Amino acid sequence: MNVILKEADLLEHKLKILLEKYEFLLEENELLNQTVAKLQTELKSKNQITEQMNKEMSYLKIARTMEGSNEDTRGMKLKINTLIREIDQCIVQLSE
């Protein structure tokens, strides 16, 4: 009978340790889930900022292209004129 009581006490002790570890892991899991949620929110915010910056950079590139120097403006005008001539040629070919 004494052996059975010792085995029961040992089993009870092991169960207490197991329950303590389980509770600790539950708490740790909750903390990790909170950290993940926080990091996901931060990542979403950073992605929005990056997207906004990319739009601004695109607008700046367009503005600089329009602003450009006289040489750039002259080159652009030549390119536009070339494109207009090509379009005119296409229209003439289509109308024939």
Contact partners, residue 65, CB within 8 Å, separation at least 6? 72, 76
Check residue 31 and give its pLDDT. Answer: 97
- Residue 1's SS3 state is coil
CA torsion 75-81-86-90 (nearest 10°) is 150
DSSP string, 54-95: HHHHHHHHHHHHHH--HHHHHHHHHHHHHHHHHHHHHHHHHH
Structural domain spans, the chain = 2-68
Give residue for tokens 């990790």.
Answer: 32
Q: In whole numbers, what is the pLDDT of the chain averaged over residues?
A: 88
pTM: 0.53
Check residue 94 and give its pLDDT. Answer: 85
**pLDDT confidence of 87, banded at 50, 70, 90?**
very high
